[in-house]
Amino acid sequence: MAAVDLAQQDERGRRPSGRRMKATQAFIESLLAEGVEVIFGYPGGAVLPIYDALYDAKIRHVLVRHEQGAAHMADGYARATGKPGVVLATSGPGATNLVTGLATAWMDSIPLVAFTGNVARSAIGTDAFQEADITGITLPITKHNFLVRRAEDLPRVIKEAFHIATTGRPGPVLVDLPKDVTTEEINFSYPETVDLPGYRPTIKGHVKQILEAARAIAAAKRPVLYIGGGVIASGAHKEVLALAEKASLPTTFTLMGIGGFPGDHPLSLGMLGMHGTVYANYAVNECDLLIAVGARFDDRVTGDLRRFAPHAKVIHIDIDPAEIGKNVQADIPIVGDAKAVLSVLVEKVREKREQEWLDTIEAWKREYPLTYEEKPGVIAPQRVIQEIYEVTRGEAICTADVGQHQMWLAQYYIFREPRRHISSGGLGSMGFGFPAAIGAALGRPDLQVWSITGDGGFQMTAQELATVRKYNLPVKIAIINNGYLGMVRQWQELLYQRRYSHSDLHDNPDFVKLAEAYGIPGFRCTRPEELRPLLEKAAAMDGPVLLDIHVDQEANVFPMIPAGQSVAEMIGKKGRLGT
């Protein structure tokens, strides 16, 4: 959607009467009406009126140390709870510091509402101090955005912002607030409904298409169910499980779909794609029916589109019609909410079991399990993930940054429920994981939260150690420290003849001392026998803890399908694996 200049819109009928109050108080009342409990933000001149109102507000404000951290915290909060995250920043650099976080939420379809301050209306367009056209800047990376020019429009705009962010395909919405708008008085009345004629997401799928999908499943001899983040966004994990079990569908998931299907279920194939399991990729390569639900056929999944699932008829279920046919042509397209569509499909599909296909997959699982090398006296990074899984009994929320540790978490931690795995998928934002863990911890204080991060990504938002300490959040930070930008180094090893150009991080700081400087306990782990006791110690401690875990510097993530290639070029532990 395009940015909206509300000064150009006609009033919609008579203005409702209500309590007379400052726009800043109306801002607070509107957020309370939306059920907002937490705001992540950083003050500045253009939002001082709002911060003055927050002083007495019954909304928890979390003071971050960088606006990028605020956006990632709001994102992590949203992913962990299913509620929209809310972030507040000042004008100019404060607003532009949100861009990476907004793009991250946009790519992964995360509901987030960002409020930014701006210069006074009379100064807009004059290059005033700390002015930035944030609505223009964020137009490609928000689902919608608003520039509020009339204070009386504020309640309606907030209502519409939350509605747009949380319905249909979720996503970030930005509301830009000129400073003088927030200082005016209005008659406050919060709207009960929204009226957006051009925005009508399709929820229910077409019944004839659903029946056609049921017939295709019945006829298939080698079906595969392929789920993405849309399953989690719609809360469709129970329907996915019911469909898979009723029709005995081997089920694979994207990075964003992890947790949408129990990872330890007999029908689970694990993650597919570039660093997916061999058997998931083989199954997709050989299937005759691919049932895609809430997934967008990302390039990290498909590789060479010309050779992706070459024998398969494709059913594609997605709430966003723009995704259907965008990358892979669908034989049976179904536009609608995953939960709504699957609830009908489960009723219509008949029970079946293609034993020969299931036996073939079981054989692949035995022949090509996930494996890794453990060198004497050196900690294997994959072992770290497995030990964290054991220590947490698979019940923690785990956030990841981007790179090798992100893939090892996806491979070796078995997630059985949705909203426990939090990772920047589409944008791949370094610096995401640690602040996202803070947001998750605030949203789900009933669960243990682990930030699995790398020595590179952690340093991009390490200043949020002050935030996690200020609020004494029990986030356990596990730095998988290999002294490199690990995934960059891996690609340079395999594809660039070991020319390690600027990927060496051996001048890293002492992370333990860094943690201690912020008043956080820190421990260094360098030997395999130290690993389990330190993980158990960290898990048992109150408050935040940092573990600097030194791992095998040359460990690689396998399997691996090089970018733009196919299953035929898959690289595994033993070299190239063909079909």
pLDDT score of 17: 57
* Residues 405/453, Cβ–Cβ less than 8 Å: yes
Enumerate residues 6+ apart whose C-beta is below 8 A from 224: 249, 250, 251, 252, 269, 283, 284, 287, 289, 290, 291, 312
- Residue 250 backbone dihedrals phi, psi, to 5 degrees: -55, 135
545 and 427 in a common domain: yes
CA dist 301 and 136 (Å) reads 32
Q: What stretch of H or E contains 88?
A: strand 85-89
pLDDT at 572: 83
Catalytic-residue membership of 407 = no
Q: How many residues are present in the chain?
A: 579
Q: Report d(CA 247, CA 267) in Å as an integer.
A: 11
Q: What is the DSSP letter of 568?
A: G
Confidence at residue 13, expressed as pLDDT on a 0 to 100 scale: 35
3 state SS of 60: strand
Residues 334 and 216 in one domain: yes
Q: Domain residues for 321?
A: 207-367
Together in a domain, 386 and 342: no
* DSSP result, 294-338: S----HHHHSSGGGSSTT-EEEEEES-TTTTTTSS--SEEEES-H
Structural domain contains residue 16: yes
Same domain, 399 and 361: no
Structure tokens at 117: 């301050």
* Contact in structure between 177 and 22 (CB atoms under 8 Å): no
Identify whether 521 is preceded by a cis peptide bond (ω within 30 of 0).
no
Q: Name the catalytic one among 22, 143, 159, 179.
A: 179
> Is 492 found in the same domain as 344?
no
Instruction: Identify the helix (H) or strand (E) that includes residue 63.
Output: strand 60-63
Q: Considering 314, 334, 367, which residue would you say is the last residue of a domain? A: 367
Q: Which of 67, 239, 387, 464 is catalytic?
A: 67
pLDDT in the model for residue 18: 79
Q: Is 34 helix (H, G, I), strand (E, B) or coil?
A: coil
- Are 442 and 507 in the same domain? yes
Based on the domain organization, do 424 and 518 belong to the same domain?
yes
Q: What is the pTM of this model?
A: 0.95
Active-site residue, selected from the candidate residues 129, 347, 367, 374: 129
130: annotated active-site residue? yes
Question: Can you name the residues that pair with 332 across neighbouring β-strands?
Answer: 315
Domain count, the chain: 3
Tokens of 522: 């820190």
Q: What is the pLDDT along the chain (579 residues), one digit of tens a residue?
A: 444 444 444 444 334 457 999 999 999 999 999 999 999 999 999 999 999 999 999 999 999 999 999 999 999 999 999 999 999 999 999 999 999 999 999 999 999 999 999 999 999 999 999 999 999 999 999 999 999 999 999 999 999 999 999 999 999 999 999 999 999 999 999 999 999 999 999 999 999 999 999 999 999 999 999 999 999 999 999 999 999 999 999 999 999 999 999 999 999 999 999 999 999 999 999 999 999 999 999 999 999 999 999 999 999 999 999 999 999 999 999 999 999 999 999 999 999 999 999 999 999 999 999 999 999 999 999 999 999 999 999 999 999 999 999 999 999 999 999 999 999 999 999 999 999 999 999 999 999 999 999 999 999 999 999 999 999 999 999 999 999 999 999 999 999 999 999 999 999 999 999 999 999 999 999 999 999 999 999 999 999 999 999 999 999 999 999 999 999 999 984 434 333
Please check whether residues 411 and 491 belong to one and the same domain: yes
Is 196 among the domain residues? no
> Which residue in the list 1, 21, 83, 130 is annotated as catalytic?
130
- The radius of gyration of the chain's CA atoms, rounded to the nearest angstrom, is 24
**Residue 339 a catalytic site member:** no
Does the annotation mark 245 as catalytic? Answer: no
Catalytic, out of 256, 487, 560, 570: 487
In a domain, 561, yes or no: no
Q: Are 144 and 173 in contact (CB under 8 A)?
A: yes
- Name 92's Cβ contacts closer than 8 Å, sequence gap at least 6: 46, 129, 130, 131, 132
Instruction: Give yes or no: 179 in active site.
Output: yes
